[in-house]
Chains A and B, each alone.
Chain A
Amino acid sequence: MSPELIIAIIVTVVGASTPILIAALGELVVERSGVLNLGVEGMMLVGAITAFLVVFLTGNHYLAILLAAAAGVAASMIFGFLTLSLSANQTATGLALTIFGTGLSALAGQGYSARPVTLLGPLFPAELALHPIWRVLFGYSALVYFSFALVFAVWWFLKKSRAGLILRAVGENDLSAHSIGYSVIGVRYAAVAFGGAMAGIAGACFPLLLTPQWAERMTAGRGWIAVALVVFASWRPFRLLAGAYLFGLVMTMELYAKAGGGPLSAIPAELWAAMPYIATVVVLVLISIRRDASNNAPACLGKPFLPSN
């Protein structure tokens, strides 16, 4: 393989991994607060169509990202109201949110499919990325750098900040947190909103970073991969980073296999396409078998908070 090809692969992997990483980091924070939101896929689609429409109408990419985040928050608040204020079942509500987001985005996107928009350009001036090697470092759009910064930010928040400690405490033992005097529901609303914003931005990556158009269900199950990744990473941000890139790599292999990329084409492209999803299932099965890994799970994950008085 030529150096150009390797660099091209790296750039593609980064692109494919970024939305998964952003969405999974949001979900990680949500789950650390004790809430299981399976609506990531739906929120991503809402973010994707919002970003597409804003770019299509205004041409402003950063406004598109901002409004995609806002749309993600709005979608997550439906989930938040049902599960936190009304104590509805989180699994069922999350699934409903995904179905809702899929339908809503398809409705809003009617008549827009195959209409082209422009991709979000690189953050740094093109002079910095003239040479292929420099492209690996400086050739990406702001969303990619944002995803890296987010890994550190989430890690620092959970590990070092007092607010992060409170959030972990709420996810670990909601009744104790309540009896000490923290607002369990308030913390969880904030976490769910953050998760929604990140899912919205992750959705925005699709029209702004990957394919500059709108297509129904264009997130293609990446939201589910993000949810699985959080478990795979044992709720730790840096493992999440590694996991997201592993999945991004496998997804990119599909493209090169399709393009007849040498040894990769020995395996049918369809199988490559199925690989991330197979890997998701395998990872979840392995983790369920190896019980120790799930020990890091927030103890209150998925349980509604019902104070006795």
Chain B
Amino acid sequence: MPNRLELTGITKQFPGVLANDGVSFAVKPGEIHALLGENGAGKSTLVKMIYGIMQPDAGEIRWNGQSVTVPNPKAARRLGIGMVFQHFSLFDALTVLENIALGMDAKIPSRALESRIREVMQTYGLLLDPHRTVATLSVGERQRIEIVRALLLDPQLLIMDEPTSVLTPQEVDQLFTVLRKLAAEGCSILYISHKLHEIKALCDTATILRGGKLVDTCDPKQETSRSMAEKMIGTGLRDIVKAEGRTFGPPKLVVNRLRTQKTGHFDVPVDGASFTVRAGEILGIAGVAGNGQNALLDALSGEILGDDREAITIDGLGIGTMNTTERRKRGLCAVPEERNGHAAVGDFSLSDNSVLTARDRLGMVVMGLINSGAAKTYTGKVIADFAVKALGPASTAGSLSGGNLQKYIMGREILQKPSVLVVSQPTWGVDAGAAAAIHQALVDLASAGSAIVVISQDLDELRALSDTLAVINMGRLSQARPVKDFSVEEIGLLMGGVHGATEAA
């Protein structure tokens, strides 16, 4: 039996980078094949070429033994290749049915399509109401649309691009059940991820990429997570060094029944959140994206002004009605989730971006004039301390890669030595080495007596980093408890809320 998909010497050159350099591997029928690698290792480029979004500069793609060229996604689907993207190609204002119809190449009457959709949903246990508007669905439900859309084409190969990054653990289990069922029916699956325990649980083979080159093809069940991670990053992995038996100081950040107004149709406001973070403590806030994290961060940073002065206090001082500048002066710094355009101005130099958040705390503005020397020196220190790959303080924020910009932004806030730091997704899109450095910097800042709030969707990160943990669901925050007292299952149930719990049952 020929291989379902066989790549030989695939090479793709972008201006300045060799995204794929002679990559060769094969996927057998019915095999669940992992494609592993850091951000920027070339995984996405590789699958985009398989799916016809991009064309390789050199190399051969063989499909069921035949050499093929895939000029566009339509041609890929005709061959029997389906893809579920990491960022869903969905239209919020349209219904499930309309969304699926848009993804079908053949023109099928909507009634016939609906019955086929129901059939596929029944077979694989992917339950959804075809007439619901996508905006009202959870992320897990949205992913089901993408999967149903791909399955309607009876694919022989299904490409999944980081499918679990937005799911609760229960939703991950449901997804794996579907994928195993598909594989048992002979459909091959190319599974892109950097979550090693998932790959060990699900995949038969793993191909590891680093810097565009194939490093190794191995059996993940024979490897440890650590050995695969080291192959991915090419060096030994650093662990977070946490001083054992740390004690926490007095309460520093106290949040009491914090609320925000609903601003848009799809906005999830914060609904009476209360928690306390002591000096030296890292509080993790877990939750599936879109459950009020953005509103919580904005309410804490001061971007959303509250009307209750005592809803947020630092060292007993009510700051609930203050704006961001006043809060920064009192020691509260924040890093929003969106790097480019929110945390940093893309067209500004790094130096100017430093002035934007550090001017008051570090005296960069004297009598209304910017002290550019101080800004440059400080930015240089951030670049050096956090190993930011940038030409210097004068390079624009927009010229940095996502991971490097994140390192700069985290460094810019951490080196201000805030007494309270609130960060959202601190290592999103950052490679493992840099993520470890950012984690260590956060732990060190906490050891120096700051109170830190980390909002993240990455459970592994939160479990490694935080001392206490709370879960946010539909704007409501659960009770914060020591992280050791939580099991993954319990976090998962809280993340899904009651809604998720009934569905899982």
Task: With A166-B102, A181-B72, A309-B54 as known contacts, state yes or no: A172 contacts B93, CB within 8 Å.
Answer: yes
Out of A179, A292, A309, name the residue touching B89 (CB < 8 Å): A179
Complex Cα–Cα for A106 and B54 (A): 49
Residue B88 interfacial (CB < 8 Å)? yes
Verify A172–B107 contact, CB threshold 8 A: no
Verify A172–B92 contact, CB threshold 8 A: yes
Verify B73–A168 contact, CB threshold 8 A: no
Complex Cα–Cα for A36 and B210 (A): 44
Chain A residue at minimal CB-CB distance from B149: A180
A262 shortest CB reach to chain B, Å: 46
Please count how many residues in chain B sit with their CB below 8 Å of the partner chain's CB atoms: 23
Chain B residue at minimal CB-CB distance from A166: B102
Complex Cα–Cα for A172 and B103 (A): 15
Q: Is chain A's interface secondary structure helix, strand, loop, or mixed overall?
A: helix
Please count how many residues in chain A sit with their CB below 8 Å of the partner chain's CB atoms: 21
Out of B88, B94, B264, name the residue touching A168 (CB < 8 Å): B94
Residue A295 interfacial (CB < 8 Å)? yes
Residue A291 interfacial (CB < 8 Å)? yes
Residue A131 interfacial (CB < 8 Å)? no
Residue B265 interfacial (CB < 8 Å)? yes
> For residue A309, which residues in chain B have a CB less than 8 angstroms away from its CB?
48, 53-54
Complex Cα–Cα for A299 and B53 (A): 24
Verify B94–A172 contact, CB threshold 8 A: yes
Task: With A173-B91, A173-B92, A295-B264 as known contacts, state yes or no: A179 contacts B98, CB within 8 Å.
Answer: no
> For residue B91, which residues in chain A have a CB less than 8 angstroms away from its CB?
168-169, 172-173, 176-177
Q: Is chain B's interface secondary structure helix, strand, loop, or mixed overall?
A: loop
> For residue B160, which residues in chain A have a CB less than 8 angstroms away from its CB?
none
Residue B74 interfacial (CB < 8 Å)? yes
State which residues 259-309 of A face B: CB under 8 Å.
291-292, 295-296, 298-299, 309
> For residue B88, which residues in chain A have a CB less than 8 angstroms away from its CB?
176
Chain B residue at minimal CB-CB distance from A173: B91
Complex Cα–Cα for A292 and B263 (A): 10
Complex Cα–Cα for A291 and B107 (A): 37
Complex Cα–Cα for A166 and B91 (A): 11
> For residue B89, which residues in chain A have a CB less than 8 angstroms away from its CB?
173, 175-177, 179-180
B332 shortest CB reach to chain A, Å: 29
> For residue A165, which residues in chain B have a CB less than 8 angstroms away from its CB?
94, 98, 101-102
Verify B73–A180 contact, CB threshold 8 A: yes
> For residue A169, which residues in chain B have a CB less than 8 angstroms away from its CB?
91, 94, 98, 102
Out of B53, B101, B263, B264, name the residue touching A162 (CB < 8 Å): B101
Verify B85–A179 contact, CB threshold 8 A: yes
18 A-B pairs besides A173-B92, A181-B73 with CB distance below 8 A are: A169-B94, A169-B98, A169-B102, A172-B92, A172-B94, A173-B89, A176-B90, A177-B102, A179-B53, A180-B102, A180-B103, A181-B72, A291-B263, A292-B265, A296-B93, A298-B93, A309-B53, A309-B54
A180 shortest CB reach to chain B, Å: 5
B 70-114 to A, binary, CB cutoff 8 A, 1 in contact else 0: 001110000000000100111111100010011101010000000
Chain A residue at minimal CB-CB distance from B75: A181
Q: Which of A168, A169, A182, A292 has the most B CB atoms < 10 Å from its CB?
A: A169
State which residues 329-351 of B face A: CB under 8 Å.
none
> For residue B90, which residues in chain A have a CB less than 8 angstroms away from its CB?
173, 176
State which residues 240-285 of B face A: CB under 8 Å.
263-265
> For residue B264, which residues in chain A have a CB less than 8 angstroms away from its CB?
291, 295
> For residue A182, which residues in chain B have a CB less than 8 angstroms away from its CB?
102
Complex Cα–Cα for A181 and B263 (A): 33
B43 shortest CB reach to chain A, Å: 15
Complex Cα–Cα for A174 and B101 (A): 16
> For residue A175, which residues in chain B have a CB less than 8 angstroms away from its CB?
89
Complex Cα–Cα for A299 and B85 (A): 20
Chain A residue at minimal CB-CB distance from B101: A165
Complex Cα–Cα for A177 and B91 (A): 9
Complex Cα–Cα for A17 and B354 (A): 56
Complex Cα–Cα for A301 and B53 (A): 25
Chain A residue at minimal CB-CB distance from B85: A179
Verify A181–B265 contact, CB threshold 8 A: no
> For residue A298, which residues in chain B have a CB less than 8 angstroms away from its CB?
93
Complex Cα–Cα for A180 and B93 (A): 17
A176 shortest CB reach to chain B, Å: 4
Verify A299–B72 contact, CB threshold 8 A: no
Complex Cα–Cα for A58 and B270 (A): 68
Show 24 A/B contacts (Cβ-Cβ < 8 Å), sorted by A.
A162-B101, A162-B107, A165-B98, A165-B102, A168-B91, A169-B91, A169-B94, A172-B91, A172-B94, A176-B89, A179-B53, A179-B89, A180-B73, A180-B89, A180-B103, A181-B72, A181-B105, A291-B263, A292-B265, A295-B265, A296-B93, A299-B93, A309-B48, A309-B53
